[in-house]
Amino acid sequence: MAYFCTQIPVLLNPGVACIKSFHQYRFLHIKAMQDDKVSTPTPSDECMVRVPHVLTVAGSDSGAGAGIQADLKACAARGVYCSTVITAVTAQNTVGVQGVNIVPEDFVAEQLRSVLSDMHPDVVKTGMLPSIGIVKTLCQSLKEFPVQALVVDPVMVSTSGHTLAGPSILDSFREELLPMADIVTPNLKEASALLGGVPLETIADMHYAAKAIHDIGPRNVLVKGGDLPASLDAVDVFYDGKDFYVFQSSRIMTPNTHGTGCTLASSVAAELAKGSQMLSAVKVAKRYIEAALSYSKNIAIGGGRQGPVDHLLKLKSNVQRRPFDPCDLFLYAVTDSRMNKRWGRSIVDAVKAAIEGGATIIQLREKEVETSDFLEAAKACLKICRVHGVPLLINDRIDVALASDADGVHIGQSDMPAHVARALLGPDKIIGVSCKTPEHALQAWIDGADYIGSGGVYPTNTKENNKTIGLDGLKTVCLSSKLPVVAIGGIGISNAQAVMGLGVPNLKGVAVVSALFDRECVLTETRKLLEVLKESNQMGKLKKCWRSPHTSRQSNLNFCYQKIS
Ligand SMILES: Cc1ncc(COP(=O)(O)OP(=O)(O)O)c(N)n1
Ligand SMILES: Cc1nc(C(=O)O)sc1CCOP(=O)(O)O
Ligand SMILES: [Mg+2]
């Protein structure tokens, strides 16, 4: 039976309304041909979206830079489901391999049967296959349960030089596994071993090796040149049986390369599972591994010579970022490009001065700068903010926040809806929302904001046609809000105490533009405001709280303020 779902023809099973995506259509086609009938994963009345799926058949690396762990992370990073058949368990770290325990052949067979018979992965990727028996078991299973593509990473020696699959395995690779492979991805040493020990040292040798390995049977070959002399660019040679393609890029200098081979092969598998052609799968996978290497440049994991790559592109930025603390709202400095221009200072100098004066959070509110200048300024300010442990938010521009990796955004009622911003920015970034009413405050909470800005408390010249809600309006919003609040609008040294004196526990601070930045000396004005705010504390309305040692080491302000209830 043929149906149409989102303009894609889809084969249906009784009880299944529809299956989205072209990919699923292809999958069903293949299944239908194999089984001579149409089958689907789970009958349900809802539209089911099938997820691209890679099965990795490889060894476990306890250090998690390579092997099964690398494959899982790479597939997750590339948006593909990954199931695992474990062939060996290695005791391994950044120094080397301390031990290997091979999983019995019949149990590898059982794992293969479990996954292949039920989950129907699109692509199988192989890594460490430590015995001839395991290679044979795998080939047998793939004949019984064919998949769309087989990616073979012919792992033989670990990055630290430990043998993971001995020479005895080579015949079964050559005779059984490689002829079934859609692509094989040897490094220079593995290519040499597959070709009987022929020395491979140059890019010309890599061309020769790609062709010679292709003659063994795989449809495509990618010879990786990571072991070429370090002075040379990173060069990989791809051969599809007809044409050669040389991928050349400048070498990323990092000690954290452990697991790059596994990661590249699994990301090729991931792209194939999504439906890419082989050449574009290799191209995209190469781009991904380059990004992962560049993110890994100076992360420190373990004491050995080769650390893991940063598969999820997150480790470094998370180390530098601390979680949002409502006390950060205490002295909230909001920049303004017109004021900076008037006083002849750059955004970066304005931010430096505000932080030195004691600002506890910074928002770049730059309505008149070009996007490229805004991005450059955000990156420069972020460096300063990180050193001082002060969060940096971007006004309105989610794109600039993402591109600069700032700590978050502040958005208003007519900007990008907060729930959309949350979806784009992910769970960790800080999102502040402007709220003038309890209804706004409730919606901000529902949408996943971290704090709200409420005002204008007093009239302001900084924002045109801004409605003033007064101290009463601020109090009403605070009392209804489940989120911490920062007050904004016409606030400065003369009235900050009156605002903080409202005595509502979730009012955590004041956000100020002109009283800091439309002044000759930002540093002096910020210091003065800080003193005023601290005085509200001494008046018994707030208590001083010390931050954790971890936080205070980074911060210029190792205390925060909390209302005594
Ligand atoms: C802390 C804080 N509160 C409120 C605002 C105002 O945001 P919005 O309503 O989006 O107006 P613009 O700042 O974009 O003009 C703010 N920026 N910061
Ligand atoms: C940016 C902004 N938002 C407001 C709001 O009411 O949401 S008032 C305002 C301007 C605040 O500037 P100043 O400190 O110079 O008065
Ligand atoms: Mg806005």
> For residue 18, is pLDDT > 80?
no
Q: Which residues neighbour 516 within 8 Å (Cβ) at sequence distance 6 or greater?
A: 333, 354, 357, 359, 522, 525, 526, 529
Give ipTM to 2 decimals.
Answer: 0.98
Q: Report the pLDDT value the prediction gives residue 562, as an integer from 0 to 100.
A: 52
Q: How far apart are CA 327 and CA 323, in angstroms?
A: 11
Query: What is the predicted pLDDT for the residue at 276?
Result: 97
184 or 542, which is more confident? 184
- As a whole number, mean pLDDT of residues 465-487 equals 97
Q: Give the model's confidence band at 16: pLDDT under 50 very low, under 70 low, under 90 confident, else very high.
A: very low
Helix (H, G, I), strand (E, B) or coil at 440: helix
Neighbours of 515 (CB within 10 A): 21
Q: Tell me, in angstroms, the distance from the centre of ligand 1 to residue 364's CA.
A: 11
Residue of higher predicted confidence among 428 and 8: 428
Q: What does the pLDDT average to over 2-11?
A: 34
Q: Return residues with CB closer than 5 A to ligand 3 (ion).
A: 396, 412, 415
Q: Does the pLDDT of residue 117 top 90, yes or no?
A: yes
- The pLDDT value recorded for residue 161 is 67
pLDDT at residue 23, as a whole number: 42
Q: Provide the 3-class DSSP secondary structure of residue 350.
A: helix
- pLDDT score of 550 more than 50: no
Residue 180 DSSP symbol: G
**CB–CB of 149/281 below 8 Å?**
no
List residues near ligand 1 (CB under 6 A). Answer: 332, 334, 363, 365, 395-396, 410-412, 415, 432, 434, 453, 463, 486, 488, 511
488 Cβ below 6 A of ligand 2: yes
Q: Is 185 exposed, middle or buried (0-12, 13-18, 19+ CB in 10 A)?
A: buried
Strand 485-488 versus strand 408-411 pairing type: unpaired
Cα–Cα dist 58/86, whole Å? 5
Whole-number average pLDDT of the chain: 87
Question: What residues pair up with 549 in beta bridges, in sequence order?
Answer: none
Cβ 495 under 6 angstroms from ligand 2: no
**Does ligand 2 lie within 6 Å of residue 185's CB atom?**
no
Both tokens assigned to 137: 């078991």
Encode pLDDT of 181-197 as tens digits.
Answer: 999 999 999 999 999 99
Type of residue numbered 51: V
Whether omega before 456 lies within 30 degrees of 0, making that bond cis, reads yes
**Catalytic: 217?**
no
Say whether pLDDT at 10 is over 50.
Answer: no
Q: Which residue has the higher pLDDT, 552 or 528?
A: 528
Is pLDDT of 564 > 50? no
At residue 227, the pLDDT reads: 80
Kindly indicate the confidence band of residue 306, based on its pLDDT and cuts at 50, 70 and 90: confident
Q: Out of 151-165, 204-218, 392-406, 513-527, which region has the weakest mean confidence (pLDDT)?
A: 151-165
DSSP states of 193-211 as a string? HHTTS----SHHHHHHHHH
pLDDT one-digit tens code per residue, 360-379: 999 999 998 899 999 999 99
Per-residue pLDDT band at 179 (split at 50, 70, 90): very high
> How confident is the model over 417-445, as pLDDT tens digits?
999 999 999 988 999 999 999 999 999 99
Report whether 256 contacts 278 (CB < 8 A).
no
Question: What pLDDT does 107 receive?
Answer: 98
Pocket of ligand 2 contains residue 456 by CB under 6 Å: yes
pLDDT of residue 160 exceeding 80, the answer is no
pLDDT class of 46 with cuts at 50, 70, 90: low
Q: Please write the tens of the pLDDT for every residue from 64-112.
A: 999 999 999 999 999 999 999 999 999 999 998 999 999 999 999 999 9
Active site annotation includes 224: yes
Whether the CB-CB separation of 37 and 30 falls below 8 Å is answered with no
pLDDT of residue 4: 30
Residue 165 in tokens: 């699959």
Percent over 70 (pLDDT), the chain:
85
Predicted confidence (pLDDT) at residue 22 exceeds the cutoff of 80: no
Instruction: Say if residue 413's pLDDT is above 80.
Output: yes
pLDDT at 180 over 60: yes
Question: Which alpha helices (DSSP H) does 103-223 contain, by range?
Answer: 105-119, 132-144, 170-172, 188-194, 203-216
- Binning pLDDT at 50, 70 and 90, where does residue 561 land? low
Most ligand 2 atoms within 8 A of CB, residue of 331, 334, 467 to mutate: 334
Distance 210 CA to ligand 3 centre (A): 56
In this prediction the pTM is 0.74
Q: Is the pLDDT of residue 554 over 50?
A: no
Q: Of all atoms in ligand 1, which is nearest to the CA of residue 413?
A: 9
- Catalytic annotation present for 259: yes
Res 230: pLDDT: 67
**pLDDT for residue 32 is more than 80:** no
